[in-house]
A and B are shown apart, each in its own frame.
Chain A
Amino acid sequence: MTVAVDTRLSFDDVSMTFPDGTEALRHVSFGVGRGEFVTVVGPSGCGKSTLLRIASGLEQQTDGAVDVDRGDLGYVFQDATLLQWRTVEGNVALLAELDGMSRGERARRVAENVSLVGLDGFADKYPRQLSGGMRMRASLARSLVMDPAIFLFDEPFGALDEITRERLNDELLSLFQRNGFGALFITHSISEAVFLSTHVLVMSARPGRIVGTHDIPFSYPRPPELRFDAAFAELCGEVSTSLRSAHQ
Chain B
Amino acid sequence: MLDTPLGQGEAIIATQTVAPVTTARRRRGRIDIVGPLLVFAAFIGIWYLMHHWALRAIWDKPNFLVPTPHNVVRTAFFTNENRATLVGGLRVTATVAFLGLAIAIVVGIGLATLMARRQWFERSMWPYLVALQAIPILALVPLIGSIWGYGLSARTLVCVIISLFPIVANTLFGLLSADKGQHDLFTLRGVSPSTRLWKLQFPAALPAIFAGFRIAAGLSVIGAIVGELFFKRGDKGIGILLDTFRNRNNYPMAYGALIVAALLGIVVFVIFGLISRLVVGKWHESTRS
Contact = CB atoms under 8 A, between A and B. Distances in A.
Interface of A: 56-58, 73, 75, 77, 79, 81, 83-86, 94-95, 98-99, 126-128
Nearest to A96: B189
Contacts of A95: 185, 189
Given A127-B283, A128-B285, A83 B200 contact: yes
Given A79-B181, A98-B195, A85 B203 contact: yes
A58 B282 contact: no
Interface residues of B, number: 21
Top 4 nearest A-B pairs by Cβ distance?
A81-B181, A126-B283, A98-B189, A85-B203
Contacts of A128: 283-285
B182 A81 contact: yes
Contacts of B179: 79, 81
Given A85-B204, A128-B285, A58 B280 contact: no
B187 interface: yes
Contacts of A75: 184-185, 188
B161 interface: no
A184 B4 CA distance: 30
Contacts of A126: 282-283
B286 to A, nearest CB: 9
Nearest to A58: B184
Contacts of B200: 83
Nearest to B181: A81
B48 interface: no
Given A56-B188, A95-B189, A98-B199, A85 B283 contact: yes
Given A83-B200, A85-B203, A95-B185, 8 more contacts: A58-B188, A75-B184, A77-B184, A81-B185, A85-B283, A94-B185, A95-B189, A98-B189
Q: Which of B185, B195, B203 has the most CB of A within 10 A?
A: B185
Secondary structure class of chain B's binding surface, majority of residues: helix
B48 to A, nearest CB: 48
A127 to B, nearest CB: 7
Interface of B: 179, 181-182, 184-189, 191, 195, 199-200, 203-204, 206, 280, 282-285
Contact of B284 (A77, A81, A84): A84
A91 to B, nearest CB: 10
Nearest to A78: B181
A83 B182 contact: yes
B61 to A, nearest CB: 59
A98 B186 contact: yes
Contacts of B187: 58
Nearest to B283: A126
Nearest to B203: A85
6 contacts: A79-B181, A81-B181, A83-B182, A85-B283, A94-B199, A98-B189
A85 B185 CA distance: 15
Nearest to B200: A83
A79 to B, nearest CB: 5
Nearest to B178: A83
Q: Which of A58, A84, A86, A95 has the most CB of B within 10 A?
A: A84
A131 B191 CA distance: 29
Contacts of A73: 188
Given A77-B181, A79-B181, A84 B188 contact: no
A77 B182 CA distance: 10
Contact of A57 (B188, B203, B282, B283): B188
A95 B195 CA distance: 12
A81 B199 CA distance: 14
Contacts of B204: 83-85
A99 B186 CA distance: 10
Contacts of A94: 185, 199
Contacts of A81: 179, 181-182, 184-185
